[in-house]
Each structure stands twice: as structure tokens, then as C-alpha cells.
Amino acid sequence: MDKTLSGWVSGFIGMLIFAGSLPATRIAVGDFEPTFLTCARASIAGLLGMALLVLLRQRRPDRAQLPSLVLVALGVVVGFPLLTALALEQVSSAHSLVFIGLLPLCTAIFGVLRGGERPRPAFWLFSLLGSACVAGYAALGDLTATLQGDLLMLAAIVVCGLGYAEGAKLSRSLGGWQVISWALVLSLPVMLPVTLYTLPATLGQTGTPAWIGLAYVALFSMLIGFVFWYRGLALGGIASVSQLQLLQPFFGLALAALLLQETVSGAMLGAALGAVGCVAGAKRFASA
């Protein structure tokens, strides 16, 4: 398979996995406090990542790679999970999901700043149009959302974009699954003690859906999804493959409709079609 095509396939699989993250988080915060949920998912994934690194005898990162791993950890291990969990206490999963459509533009900007990529001007036009489709739907789709919830989601998008771009750049030398595994291991000395400290006293009363939500965000959102996503970004290009996330809100909304009985509107379908067109246009003009 062509290297670029392989990158897009891997990125698409990663995007599909991530599409379930916010609905799963929404379910989990029904019973779990956001700080515990954030630290627990990172701790579970971190222990699994450490086991993989030891069993497969992976080399340790160079000292020069540690600052990038710290940025990855702050962005996708701590920042995005915590900020989205806090936001989902105030807004619906459907409303939060459409903000993900802004993530490709943010990732592309950090890809330019941190990864040295130089997409053509038309790429930025399609990125802005696609983001505008999603942002417009976000603004009009849920009038009950709070300003604080929206600001938390915007902050989550910024830190996640940085983590994606930094991780993709590092994946070229360290390997995709190794990057997220080392970032998780690096976070363990903080995340594991906080998990134990914030452990709910009433775990026995926690519902099955919340446990399933925690399992999903720990295993898939925090580890398995990144294996595919970072590989896709590294092979296909940060700026171009990141545009797949314009589609993520709509796969996520489909899951939200099935799992949370949220309504799928005509406006969502229209925004989805617009996003698909922008993804295609951005892919064509991704290379300088």
C-alpha cells in the first residue's frame, strides 16, 4: 500500500475510535468526578503502555525527545481529557462533539509551527471553510449550552491540537504507539497517585454504563486510537490527515444518537456534507 494512502487509512481508523470518546466520557461523568475520570483513564492506559514497552523491549526516548513527550502528555493525556470532562458536565455530548471539527485547523497550525509543514494556501481555505461549517452548527445547534462549557471545549481543542502535532512529529523517529505509551508512562507518577486519592468512596454504587465509559476512554481513546492516529499523521502528513477529524463530530453524533438518544437534525447532516467536501479539498492541497 502507498505510504500516503496507508497513513490516511490509519488516520481514519484512529478517527473512528476517537469518535466514541466524548459520548463515552459523557456517560462516565454521570457517576465519576472529572478529575478521577481523567487520572484513572491515564493510569489504566499508562500501565498497559508500560507493559507493552517492556514486553517488546522498546528503547528509551533520548533526552532531546523528552520535552516533546511532556507536551504530548500535557495535551492529550491531561489537558484534553480533563477539559472535556469538565465541559461535559455543562453541555451535551452532541454540542461538545461539533467543536472537534475545529481540531484539524488547530492541529495544522501547530503542524506548521512545530512540524515544519508548509501546505498550500488553498489548504487553509478549505480548513477554514470546514471549521466554519462545524462552528456554525455548534453555535446554532444547541441554544442551551453554557459559555463556560464552550470555553472549556475551545481550550481542550487548543491543547489537543498541540499534542497531536507534537506527537506526530515525534512519531517519525520514535514510532506512533511508542510516543503515546511513553507519554502515558511519563504521566504515571502524577496520575496514579491522584487516581487513588480521588477514588470514589461509593464505587459499589457506580452504574455499569459508567464503567463501560471508563473502559472505553482508557483502552481505546487513550491508547489504541493513538496507535492508529499518530501512525496516520506521521505517514500521511500532519496537516492533511488531521482534516479527517472534520468527520469525527458526525460519527460521534451518530453514536450519541444511538447511545444517548440524542436527535440527529437536518442541520447536522448538512454540516456533515460540507465537512466531507472540505476534507477532500484539503487533502488535494495539503502538500506545498
The pLDDT of residue 191 is 96
Q: Whole-model pTM?
A: 0.84
CA distances from 112 to 47, 92, 119, 199 (A): 33, 32, 8, 40
Q: What amino acid is encoded at 13 in this protein?
A: I
Look up residue 58 and give its DSSP letter. P
Predicted local confidence at residue 193, as pLDDT: 96
Task: Give first-to-last CA distance, the chain, whole Å.
Answer: 23
Max CA-CA distance within the chain?
Answer: 56
Answer positive or negative: Cα dihedral of 216, 51, 159, 246: negative
Give pLDDT, residue 212. 94
pLDDT mean for each 10 residues of the chain (288 residues): 82 92 90 94 95 92 92 94 92 78 79 73 82 73 69 91 87 85 95 94 85 95 89 81 81 82 70 74 68
Q: What is the pLDDT of residue 102?
A: 78
Written as one letter, the residue type at 241 is V
136 grid coordinates: 456554525
In tens, the pLDDT along 160-185 reads 989 988 888 888 788 878 999 999 99
How confident is the model at residue 1, as a pLDDT? Answer: 64
Q: CA separation (Å) from 265 to 104, 189, 271, 272?
A: 23, 44, 10, 11
57: left (phi over 0), alpha (psi -120 to 50) or beta: left
Q: Which residue stretches of the chain are H helix?
A: 3-19, 21-28, 34-55, 66-72, 80-87, 93-99, 103-115, 121-141, 147-174, 176-197, 208-216, 225-236, 238-241, 248-260, 266-284
Nearest to 240 by CA among 183, 164, 174: 164
